[in-house]
């Protein structure tokens, strides 16, 4: 037997396999071109065929998900339901600022905090109100979190103060002067005498925190 693999028809088989593969590749290209042509007859713009197949597929996917190119399919499914127009997620035009601390039991209530010294605490205990005593500031600051009120107490009352809290209606809170980061600690609100009286009239009591 002559030297070699002993397969006289191997090259012919390989040639046939290569021809089949080439035909399949050609058919795939033709099918892909047909898909692109069919898509181009709709509202979508025909992709640039000089780009790669992957990029063309990505381009078609983006156009297929564009509401401008939505095509009504009529009745779809076995239940006779109608095809619904494509609705993309709505993108908000503005981002709301973080809401201050609220009582989860009532979305219309806002929780405020204040660290007080012994004199002011005794006055609150006796009157159940926030009062302006002689020699005190003409208004009062309130923190929007307990820890921030505690930090103010460490600075102003040398850590000997007591933090109290109450809840007021959103409408009352909106009348107060808001500061995003008072004294470099955190958000706070300032109440002038008229606003302080409104707090006293609309709050749900004063409690020691925590």
127/74 same-domain check:
no
Residues whose CB falls within 8 Å of the CB of residue 137, separated by 6 or more in sequence, listed in order:
none
116/77 same-domain check:
no
145/76 same-domain check:
no
131/178 same-domain check:
yes
Asked if residue 31 has a cis previous peptide bond (ω within 30° of 0), the answer is no
62/146 same-domain check:
no
Pairwise CA distance, residues 23 & 171, whole Å? 76
Phi and psi for 141 in degrees, rounded to 5? -95, 145
72/151 same-domain check:
no
**Does some domain include residue 88?**
no
Pairwise CA distance, residues 113 & 141, whole Å? 9
From residue 12, alpha-carbon distances to 2, 8, 16, 22, 26 in Å are 18, 8, 6, 15, 21
Nearest residue to 143 via CA among 181, 187, 101: 187
**Does some domain include residue 87?**
no
- CATH number for the domain spanning 145: value is 3.20.170
Written as six digits, the tokens of 188 are 């706070």
**Does some domain include residue 201?**
yes
**Does some domain include residue 113?**
yes
- Expressed as residue numbers, the domain containing 174 is 109-208
Tally the domains of the chain: 2
127/162 same-domain check:
yes
- Where does residue 30 rank: exposed (0-12), middle (13-18), buried (19+ CB within 10 A)? exposed
114/75 same-domain check:
no
* DSSP conformation letters of 78-124: TTTEEPPPP-PPPPPSS-PPPPPPB-TT-TTEEEEEEEE-HHHHHHH
Per-residue pLDDT of the chain (210 residues; tens, 9 = 90+): 444 445 555 555 445 555 665 666 666 656 666 665 665 555 555 545 555 555 655 666 666 666 555 555 555 556 666 656 555 555 444 444 445 554 444 569 999 999 999 999 999 999 999 998 776 778 999 999 999 999 999 999 988 999 999 999 999 999 999 999 888 899 999 999 999 999 999 999 999 999
77/113 same-domain check:
no
**Does some domain include residue 150?**
yes
């Amino acid at each position: 037997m002559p030297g070699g693999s002993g397969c006289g028809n191997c090259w012919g088989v390989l040639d046939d396999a290569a021809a089949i593969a080439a035909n399949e590749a050609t058919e795939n290209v033709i099918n892909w071109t047909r898909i692109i042509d069919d898509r181009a007859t709709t509202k979508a713009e025909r992709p640039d065929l000089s780009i790669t197949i992957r990029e063309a597929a990505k381009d078609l996917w983006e156009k297929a998900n564009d509401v401008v190119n939505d095509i009504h399919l009529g009745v779809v499914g076995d239940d006779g339901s109608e095809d619904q127009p494509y609705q993309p997620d709505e993108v908000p035009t503005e981002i709301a600022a973080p809401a201050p601390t609220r009582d989860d039991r009532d979305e219309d209530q806002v929780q405020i905090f204040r660290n007080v010294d012994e004199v002011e605490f005794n006055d609150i205990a006796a009157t159940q109100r926030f009062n302006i005593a002689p020699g005190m500031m003409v208004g009062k600051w309130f923190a929007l979190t307990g820890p921030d009120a505690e930090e103010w107490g460490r600075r102003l009352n040398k850590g000997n103060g007591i933090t109290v809290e109450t809840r007021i209606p959103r409408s009352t809170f909106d009348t107060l002067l808001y500061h995003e980061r008072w004294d470099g600690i955190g958000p706070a609100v300032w109440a002038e005498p008229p606003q302080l009286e409104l707090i006293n009239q609309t709050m749900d009591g004063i409690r020691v925190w925590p």
